[in-house]
Amino acid sequence: MIAWLKQCRNWMKRVLAWLGHAYLLWIALAAIAAVVLLSYVVFANWEARIRIAGMGLELLGLSTVAFGLRETRKLFNQPTLLQLAETWLGSFPTFYRNIRIVAGSGHFEWEAASVSAFGTGSSSASASLEERVTMLEKNLNQINQAIHLAQKRMMRKRENKRVLSNPSARTVKQEMKRISVFLKRLWPVVSIWKQ
């Protein structure tokens, strides 16, 4: 008899665990039952009961869809609907436009294959003191980097002039040009071969 009771207890545990696997189903059934029971208790008129129960079920369906959309957006690393609404409200156009002046310059060389660019930005007229100081620090760092690049470029040109003044270096440069022309002619063949 005791062995049979232990077996019944173990079986009941397995049945409860099995029922627990369908917890979403039980939540949905409990929500429906709660809506129907609440409308039955609160309202005496059958028409009102049915209308309120229908509205409650519609709201439950809508909240289920919203929850599903939120979870799907999380899976794809997208912002939630609340974050989208905050972003949209934050982008409301201000009365005074923030005008930023940005200056830039560029550099391009074909044979040496070098490219450089430089730009600065200005803060808006309504920016706080901290924002203006931050913008000035960024501009100063960019200017220092541009000066450093210009110094490197000048040193490279000096080195090239020194090397080209050497007669043996001229032949190296001529050989490099010849190889460059060969590679330019070979490139279409290589690209067709890759396809």
**Model pLDDT for residues 119-132, shown as the tens digit of each residue:** 666 667 677 888 88
Residues 106 and 84 in one domain: no
For residues 56 and 54, give the distance between their C-alpha atoms in angstroms, rounded to a whole number: 5
What value, to the nearest 5°, has the Cα angle with vertex 40 and ends 37 and 41?
Answer: 85
Residues 84 and 106 in one domain: no
Q: What is the domain extent for residue 10?
A: 2-88
Say what percent of the chain tops pLDDT 90: 6
For residue 121, give the 3-state DSSP assignment: strand
pLDDT in tens, 177-189: 777 776 666 555 4
Give residue 157's pLDDT band: very low, low, confident or very high (50, 70, 90): confident
More confident residue, 155 or 160: 155
Q: Quote the DSSP letter at residue 76.
A: T
Mean pLDDT within 40-55: 88
Q: Is residue 42 part of a domain?
A: yes
pLDDT in tens, 98-120: 666 666 666 666 655 566 666 66
Q: Is residue 94 part of a domain?
A: no
Q: Is residue 93 part of a domain?
A: no
Per-residue DSSP letters for 63-75? HHHHHHHHHHHHH
For residues 44 and 34, give the distance between their C-alpha atoms in angstroms, rounded to a whole number: 17
Q: Where are the beta strands (DSSP E) in the chain?
A: 102-109, 114-121
Residues 67 and 113 in one domain: no
CA–chain centroid gap for 192, Å, is 36
pTM, 2 dp: 0.38
Q: Is residue 96 part of a domain?
A: no
Q: Is residue 95 part of a domain?
A: no
For residue 119, give the 3-state DSSP assignment: strand
For residues 11 and 5, give the distance between their C-alpha atoms in angstroms, rounded to a whole number: 10
Q: Is residue 17 part of a domain?
A: yes
Residues 26 and 82 in one domain: yes
Q: Which of 62, 88, 114 is the last residue of a domain?
A: 88
Nearest to 122 by CA among 114, 132, 112: 132
Residues 60 and 119 in one domain: no
14 half-sphere exposure, CB direction, 13 A CA radius? 6
